């Protein structure tokens, strides 16, 4: 049976940012990322590589003010693109989880592509800034992504010292959990993995 391509493109324009994103859920992990925030670019490249989702992201924002709007809107647009590419979410595994070690750090990520957005974020960072990015923006990115993607998302750093390792393990954990959740289950065909019969729907 021929499967429909799970691809999407989303563009969002506001007075603060212009964000364009393309996503291919059945890709190879290729990434072309340009947000103007170096550390965020690095994390989104990790997200693509370890999820095997192809990502193209171009963001122009009011970085002369700060990074908040560009960071948050990038999360919103990528979440919207994910939701659009998933369609009615029929035939997918739906759930995914990952336990990611990175040197002294261990992080657990679990998610449900439920269309019921919720974020649990149990991550503490000792450094106020990583590269050129304020540390408090990482939670904002995950929150925006979960809300617009319709994801119940739990991220917990179990232990760790190096803030870079902690954040990178969060993104890699998200990637691996997504890779499991978006995979098609051949036993489900195109059935929606819910007793309600519905997972998709309009998302903010």
Question: Quick check: is 126 in a domain?
Answer: yes
Question: Quick check: is 102 in a domain?
Answer: yes
Assign 185 a pLDDT band (cuts: 50, 70, 90).
confident
CATH code (residue 42): 3.30.230.40
Question: Quick check: is 112 in a domain?
Answer: yes
Tell me: pLDDT of 176 over 90.
yes
Reported as a single tens digit per residue, the pLDDT across 5-26 is 899 999 999 999 999 999 999 9
Alpha carbon distance 51, 30 (integer Å): 10
Identify the pLDDT of residue 158.
Answer: 98
Identify the pLDDT of residue 5.
Answer: 85
Domain count along the chain? 1
Question: Quick check: is 169 in a domain?
Answer: yes
Alpha carbon distance 56, 145 (integer Å): 16
Assign 193 a pLDDT band (cuts: 50, 70, 90).
low
Ranges of beta strands (E only) in the chain are 7-13, 17-24, 31-34, 54-61, 95-102, 105-112, 118-122, 129-130, 133-134, 152-159
Tell me: pLDDT of 199 over 80.
no
Assign 203 a pLDDT band (cuts: 50, 70, 90).
very low
Identify the pLDDT of residue 189.
Answer: 72
Reported as a single tens digit per residue, the pLDDT across 122-147 is 999 999 999 889 999 999 999 999 99
Identify the pLDDT of residue 196.
Answer: 58
Average pLDDT over residues 171-183: 97
Tokens of 137: 């923006």
Reported as a single tens digit per residue, the pLDDT across 60-77 is 999 999 999 999 999 999
**62 to 15, 21, 46, 78, 202: CA distances (angstroms):** 9, 18, 25, 19, 28
Size (the chain), residues: 204
Identify the pLDDT of residue 192.
Answer: 62
Question: Quick check: is 152 in a domain?
Answer: yes
Question: Quick check: is 96 in a domain?
Answer: yes
Whole-prediction pTM: 0.91
Tell me: pLDDT of 3 over 90.
no
Question: Quick check: is 129 in a domain?
Answer: yes
Domain that holds residue 29: 7-182
Mean model confidence pLDDT for the chain: 92
Question: Quick check: is 199 in a domain?
Answer: no
Average pLDDT over residues 42-67: 96
Tell me: pLDDT of 198 over 70.
no
């Amino acid at each position: 049976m021929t499967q429909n391509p799970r691809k999407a493109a989303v563009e969002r324009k506001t007075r603060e940012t212009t964000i364009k994103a393309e996503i291919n859920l059945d890709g190879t992990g290729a990434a072309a990322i340009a947000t103007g925030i170096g550390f965020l670019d690095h994390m989104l490249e990790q997200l693509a590589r370890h999820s095997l989702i192809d990502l193209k992201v171009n963001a122009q924002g009011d970085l002369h003010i700060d990074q908040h709007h560009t960071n948050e809107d990038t999360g919103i647009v990528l979440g919207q693109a994910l939701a659009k590419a998933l369609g009615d979410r029929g035939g997918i595994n739906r759930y995914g989880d990952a336990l990611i070690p990175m040197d002294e750090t261990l992080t657990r990520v679990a998610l449900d592509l439920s269309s019921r957005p919720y974020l649990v974020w149990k991550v503490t960072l000792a450094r106020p800034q990583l590269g050129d990015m304020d540390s408090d923006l990482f939670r904002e990115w995950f929150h925006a992504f979960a809300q617009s993607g319709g994801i119940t998302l739990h991220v917990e750093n179990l232990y760790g010292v190096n803030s870079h390792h902690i954040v990178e393990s969060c993104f890699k954990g998200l990637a691996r959990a997504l890779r499991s959740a978006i995979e098609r289950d051949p036993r489900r065909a195109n059935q929606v993995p819910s007793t309600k019969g519905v997972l998709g729907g309009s998302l903010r």
